[in-house]
Amino acid sequence: MRRRDKAGGKRPRRRFKTSKRQNGLKARDRDETLEQLAATSEVLEAISRSTFDLQIVLATLVKSAGRLCQAENVQIFLYDGEFYRIAADNGFSPEYQQYARDHPIRPGRDTLVARTALGIEPVQIPDALADPEYTYGGQKLGGYRTLLGVPLLRDEKCIGVIALTRSKVHPFTDRQVALVTNFAAQAVIAIENARLLNELRESLEQQTATSDVLRVISSSQGELEPVFEALLANAVRLCDAKFGTLWLSDEGAFRVAALHNAPAEYVEHRWREPMVRPGPQTAMGRMTGSQQPVQYDAAAGEAYRAGDPLAVSIVELAHARTFLSVPMLKEKTVVGAINIYRQEVQAFTGKQVELVQNFAAQAVIAIENARLLNETKEALEQQRASAEVLNVISNSLSDAEPVFEKIVESCERIFATSRIGLNLIGPDGLVHAGAYGQFPGAENLRRENFPHPVAGSATGAAISAGSPIQYPDALSGPDVPQYGRRAAKILGLRAFLMAPLLSEGRGLGAIFVGRETIGSFSDKEVALLKTFAAQAVIAIENTRLLRELRQTTDQLKAQSHQLANLNQQLEERVADQIGEIERMSRLRRFLPPQVADLIVASGSEKQLESHRREITALFCDLRGFTGFSESSDPEDVMARNAIEALMQK
């Protein structure tokens, strides 16, 4: 017979009930673990799917954390360097969410988020109403009692907080705290991924923008407008600004050079008044003084409150609030500025400031490239113009007028104006109009203003100064000579530059260039006009020297001709004298000296001509004369040739 258990078989039944209960707990743990794994998988999938959209990942996190931890409300706060601001929310009312956005949290002990950030470890407040340090004003709107905060840690620094709340006093378990800690780690991974990817994207965008700007610089051929427009467009776009302006320094002031996406009313005002002198309290004034980027709230600044025109126009015409001004520096000198604006109060980040500084450096490079290219072009143009003038000089030695016309033509091309003229001092001592450009009023000027005395003329003033002289305001400025002011009125000029034509201290005239706008001429323009003046002097001197050379040559030719005539006359006289001497010698051989002198003095040998006359002659020692006289006629006997022939025997 089988023995029964003393307990009547009930002991095995108790063991069965315990096992069943343990199995239920294990099953529940298993289900929770599976649910947690599923939630983790869901978060990781969201991280992998949303590489650039952190908001999707954070929204998935707060939803999963709230479901798995039986939390009615879940929020994620991220630190921006000053405040903890809400980044994701699940469960709270719109009123509470708006309150949280309007009241960012500073580190401290008066809120869950601040307390968690200070301790960089999970913090649980079992009952917010019973915690004397907890004074956050949003508790009534949220209606929560129990709170759990878990920090988001990166390199042992708190970059954010996950906050969970319950409307009843019901603390979170250690397991739930561990689960939220896991979610916090996943949030940090997502934030880091998003940060790295965003930095990569920003870097690529910046490199693309830099490449675009450099491409524009290389293709601009010295034109700065397209470069400035590309710089501003990229700066505004990459820095999430509303609009931008680019300024260039101009003798202690700033001149607007480009605007991008600015409000129409501000654009109209700015182009109407392109020059500004920023006060010391304005952002541009502070930027110029410190040579560092400056940003501030334009409407809250001292300059706007003081009524500074620049600040007022920015706030009231452009409706700007946040204002960043970055200097364009060349060798520690501010040569311009890039300003970008937002129409809301939101500071630009350090990276955005660095980006605009990079664009400012590119602007300086573009300005330098344009300057060097334009200087090269100007130098080549000036060399070509000088070569053309010198070529005309070499081919027009006897006439300076073609040289003057070529000089005027070259000046018109280089100075980009037709208001060019050349005045000459004539033999009468008055100033006369020489070569002039083809511009309105030129003939009236010749007729009404020339000739005139050297005294009281701009030509005379330049000659007296011995160097170029300019009149930035020809109509209203002081010390403008009367004939110069009259010429300006006739031609409609507001400024002109005179360069004297000087040769060994002697004034020959002057060359001038005029403008229709008030302003000084640059040192390069002065030097260039001085070069053309020197070429005009060369042409004048060449013409004078050639004229004098020709006159001297003509005089020498006339003198040579006279000397040749004198030589010929002298030779004839010498020949005549020699002939007379020879004739006198022959006559004296046969005639008495008195008779020979008488014949020579008479200047005629008529007495020696043959003629018939009865004479008695005694010839002595003339060999053969007797036979000759007997056989010849008397005329032949008395012929001179016959006697000379007998004498030579």
- Say what the pLDDT of residue 1 is: 44
More confident residue, 21 or 180: 180
Counting Cβ atoms within 10 Å, is residue 643 exposed (0-12), middle (13-18) or buried (19+)?
middle
Rounded CA-CA distance 283/295 in Å is 7
Mean pLDDT score, 438-446: 82
E strands, 303-377, are 322-330, 333-342
Mean pLDDT value across residues 101-113: 88
Domain with residues 220-374, CATH architecture = 2-Layer Sandwich (3.30)
pLDDT of 336 over the 90 cut: yes
Average pLDDT over residues 326-334: 91
Domain ranges of the chain: 24-198, 220-374, 396-548, 610-648
Q: What is the pLDDT of residues 225-276, one digit of tens each?
A: 888 888 888 889 888 999 999 999 988 899 999 999 999 999 999 999 999 9
Whole-number pLDDT of residue 393 = 59
Confidence (pLDDT) at 47: 46
Which residues neighbour 178 within 8 Å (Cβ) at sequence distance 6 or greater? none
Reply yes or no on whether the pLDDT at 451 is more than 60.
yes
Could you check whether 220-374 and 396-548 share the same CATH topology? yes
Give percent above pLDDT 70 in the chain.
80
In the sheet with 157-166, reading across from the earlier edge strand, the strands are 84-90, 73-79, 157-166, 146-154, 123-125
State which fold the 396-548 domain adopts: Beta-Lactamase (3.30.450)
Task: Pick the closest to residue 52 from 230, 173, 234, 195 (CA basis).
Answer: 195
Helix, coil or strand: residue 643: helix
Q: Is the peptide bond before 451 cis (omega within 30 degrees of 0)?
A: yes
CB of 200 closer than 8 Å to CB of 351: no
Q: Where are the alpha helices (DSSP H) in 480-522?
A: 482-491
Q: How confident is the model at residue 123 (pLDDT cuts 50, 70, 90)?
A: very high
Band of the pLDDT at 214, cuts 50, 70, 90?
Answer: low
**Token pair listed for 323:** 């204002």
Look at the chain and count its residues. 649
> What CATH class has 24-198?
alpha beta
Mean pLDDT to the nearest integer, 61-81: 88
- Per DSSP (E only), the strands in 69-154 are 73-79, 84-90, 123-125, 146-154
Q: What is the pLDDT of residue 163?
A: 93
Average pLDDT over residues 136-151: 92
Can you give the pLDDT at residue 622? 64
What's the whole-model pTM score? 0.52
Q: Which residue has the higher pLDDT, 75 or 545?
A: 75
For residues 4-14, give the mean pLDDT.
50
* CA–CA distance, 415 with 154 (Å, rounded to integer): 64
Which tokens go with 53?
């959209």
Q: What is the pLDDT of residues 309-322, one digit of tens each?
A: 888 999 999 999 99
Residue 43, pLDDT score? 47
Inform me whether the pLDDT recorded for 6 exceeds 50. Answer: no
- C-alpha–C-alpha distance, residues 229 and 233, integer Å: 6
Q: How confident is the model at residue 211 (pLDDT cuts 50, 70, 90)?
A: low
Amino acid 2: pLDDT: 46
| Interval 417-427 mean pLDDT | 83
pLDDT band at 396 (very low <50, low <70, confident <90, very high): low
456: tokens are 């009281």
Q: So what's the pLDDT on residue 446?
A: 84
pLDDT digits (tens, 9 = 90+) for 188-203: 888 888 777 777 676 6
